[in-house]
Amino acid sequence: MGGPGGPGGPGAAPVAAWPIDIPARVSYAGAMSHHQHQAGRGHPADAAAPSLLRMSVATRLLVAAAVAAVLWIATLWVIR
């Protein structure tokens, strides 16, 4: 591991600094393609991702019942 004092102890080899050079000013201007929108309009809204919280109560109950049925069928199949 290290020296007599364990990792990083008195006999351990010196650790070199990470050779990285970060410029003082980093520009992300070229990171995205250039595009334009109609005057007075920004980016269009993204479509909402599917979420259990946005489902109706009836739909959530139906999904829960379907998952429970699949789990019961799998359990009975494994038991046989």
What does the pLDDT read at residue 76?
97
Half-sphere exposure of 33 (CA within 13 A, CB side): 1
> Side chain identity at 74, as an amino acid letter?
A
Provide the pLDDT confidence category of residue 69 given band limits of 50, 70 and 90: very high
Classify residue 15: in a domain, yes or no: no
Per the prediction, the chain carries an average pLDDT of 74
Classify residue 49: in a domain, yes or no: no
Per-residue pLDDT reduced to its tens digit, 35-60: 676 777 777 777 888 787 888 999 99
Burial class (CB in 10 A: 0-12, 13-18, 19+), 35: exposed
Classify residue 80: in a domain, yes or no: yes
pTM of the model: 0.41
For the chain, the domain total comes to: 1
What is the domain range of residue 63? 54-80
Classify residue 58: in a domain, yes or no: yes
Classify residue 76: in a domain, yes or no: yes
Classify residue 72: in a domain, yes or no: yes
Classify residue 59: in a domain, yes or no: yes
Phi and psi at residue 60, in whole multiples of 5°?
-60, -40
